[in-house]
């Protein structure tokens, strides 16, 4: 359970936890049947108020990502991986769509946007290539 929280982000701590756990489920870092840390442990581990940790887990349960069995702990649900994976892809498409709508509102032509996109992608690719080999975590 590697969680990386940013207290100065506008997105609430509990939401950051939820998001990152869902992502780990989607990517297979957490697999169906895996046991999550207890609220207490989670709170200590990510240095957060116990209420915040509790709220995060509660939210995960509400979304059906995990299931709490009293006395035993909280476990990743069976079909969670595929569901979260689909959600992630759906979100990506939505992000793209938002970009397109935004471009329209801004008066940028779709052609110009596509160009811009290609441009940023190229830059990004180069930056990635530069990092190769220097990776630690």
Partner DNA sequence: GTGGTCTAGACCACT
Partner DNA sequence: GTGGTCTAGACCACG
Closer to a copy of itself by Cβ: residue 42 or 59: 59
Q: Which residue has the tokens 């840390």?
A: 37
CB-count exposure of residue 58 (10 Å: 0-12, 13-18, 19+): middle
Residue labelled with tokens 């780990």: 24
Residue of 1, 3, 34, 58 that binds DNA (CB under 7 A): 58
Is 76 a binding residue for DNA by CB under 7 A? The answer is: no
Pull the structure tokens for residue 129.
Answer: 């290539």
Residues that bind a copy of itself (CB under 8 A): 7-8, 23, 26-27, 49, 62, 67, 69, 71, 88-89, 92-93, 95-100, 102-108, 110, 113-114, 116-118, 120-121, 124-125, 128
- Longest CA–CA span in the chain (Å) reads 58
CB of 103 to a copy of itself, least distance (A): 7
At 5 the three-state DSSP class reads coil
For the chain, the 3-state helix, strand and coil shares in percent, each to the nearest 5, are: 60, 5, 30
Least separation in angstroms between CB 106 and DNA: 24
Query: Residues interacting with DNA, by CB under 7 A?
Result: 12-15, 36, 38-41, 47-52, 54-55, 57-58, 61, 68-74
């Amino acid at each position: 359970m590697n969680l990386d929280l940013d207290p100065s982000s506008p997105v609430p701590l509990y939401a950051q936890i939820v998001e990152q756990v869902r992502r780990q489920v989607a990517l297979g870092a957490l697999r169906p049947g895996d046991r999550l840390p207890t609220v207490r442990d989670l709170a200590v581990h990510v240095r957060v108020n116990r209420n915040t940790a509790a709220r995060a887990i509660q939210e995960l349960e509400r979304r059906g990502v995990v299931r709490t069995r009293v006395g035993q702990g909280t476990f990743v649900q069976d079909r969670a991986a595929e569901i979260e994976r689909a959600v992630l892809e759906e979100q990506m498409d939505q992000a793209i769509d938002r970009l397109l709508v935004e471009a329209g509102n801004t008066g940028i032509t779709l052609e110009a946007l596509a160009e811009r996109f290609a441009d940023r992608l190229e830059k990004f690719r180069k930056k990635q290539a530069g990092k190769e080999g220097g990776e630690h975590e």
